[in-house]
Amino acid sequence: MEEQQAQSGEGGAWAVIRLEEVAKTYDLGEVQVHALRGVSLEIGRGEFVAIMGASGSGKSTLMNILGCLDKPTRGRYFLDGVDVSGMSKAELARIRNRKLGFVFQQFNLLSRTSALENVELPTVYAGIAPEERTRRAREALARVGLAEREGHYPSQLSGGQQQRVAIARALVNKPQIVLADEPTGNLDSRTSVEIMDILQRLNEEQGLTVVIVTHEADIAHYAKRAIEFRDGRIRRDRPIEERLIAREVLPTLPAPEGPEAEKPEAGAAPAKDAAPVAPRA
């Protein structure tokens, strides 16, 4: 397995993600769709990057390749110095489980499973012992301010709380990179800023590399760098000027109502009497 490290132009940080002339083509019968056309980029360790573009621009295809969910048709992808572009599905699955955490627009929580058990799932696939699984899951829920709701089912949680559970699930295996695909797409304005606050804190306080896909320019302004795609190519790559800080924006927004008003602050310590874990259905 080839290992190679490259230096990013972002403050000299080592590039944890590097693409070299990556292309992705889909064959649809007699038609070929060129989703990516020779994309080269570097993302340094500890960066917070927003990938932007209209529908069909190639940003979702890029995210699938970055997440080792798909392989490029041509070109090379180095993840943490290792060329993963030619790996088998089994090898890519191991890489995903060890190095990457995923957050999706639709939350993708199991409806008959408690918040705690949803967060534990990646540790099951990683073969972690049951006691350690539970400890990690509770710690992750506390980091997103949901220690008191570990026994709740998704139907008992608001949309923002469900996305917090999804972020906790992404963190439970202690990844180096969090990939978030439209993480605020189904949320209202205040809840969107709360989710960006969590991602900013993870980036700033714990040094996690965060990459989000978004079509919302205001959400991209919470990142440190924006990469805009059009027709499968990078159209623009720029640092964010006048970056928004979520914890400063939140006090300017209307107070939450309903279940969201009751949630503790992100990063709060777990409650002494946490709700019992709901039994599996």
Question: What pairs with residue 238 in β-bridges?
Answer: 226
Closest CA to 63 of 46, 43, 86: 43
CATH fold of 45-72+87-262? Rossmann fold (3.40.50)
> What pTM value is reported for the model?
0.84
Tell me the mean pLDDT in the region 188-204: 95
Mean pLDDT (the chain) is 87
Return the domain boundaries, the chain: 45-72+87-262
Per-residue pLDDT at 12: 41
Q: What is the 3-state secondary structure (H, E, C) of the chain?
A: CCECCCECCCCCCEEEEEEEEEEEEEEECCEEEEEEEEEEEEEECCCEEEEECCCCCCHHHHHHHHCCCCCCCEEEEEECCEECCCCCHHHHHHHHHHHEEEEECCCCCCCCCCHHHHHHHHHHHCCCCHHHHHHHHHHHHHHCCCHHHCCCCHHHCCHHHHHHHHHHHHHCCCCCEEEEECCCCCCCHHHHHHHHHHHHHHHHHHCCEEEEECCCHHHHCCCCEEEEEECCEEEEEEECCCCCCHHHHHHHCCCCCHHHHHCCCCCCCCCCCCCCCCCCC
Per-residue pLDDT at 257: 67
pLDDT category of residue 260 using cuts at 50, 70 and 90:
low
Tell me the mean pLDDT in the region 10-19: 74
Residues 6+ apart with CB under 8 A from 89: none
Q: Is the pLDDT of residue 259 over 70?
A: no
Range name among 48-62, 192-206, 222-236, 247-261 with the lowest pLDDT average: 247-261
**For residue range 179-189, what is the model confidence (pLDDT) as tens digits?**
999 999 989 99
Q: Is the pLDDT of residue 253 over 60?
A: yes
Q: Burial code of 114-127, b = ≥16 C-beta within 10 A, e = fewer?
A: bbbbbbbbbbeeee
Q: Is the pLDDT of residue 11 over 90?
A: no
Tell me the mean pLDDT in the region 78-103: 93
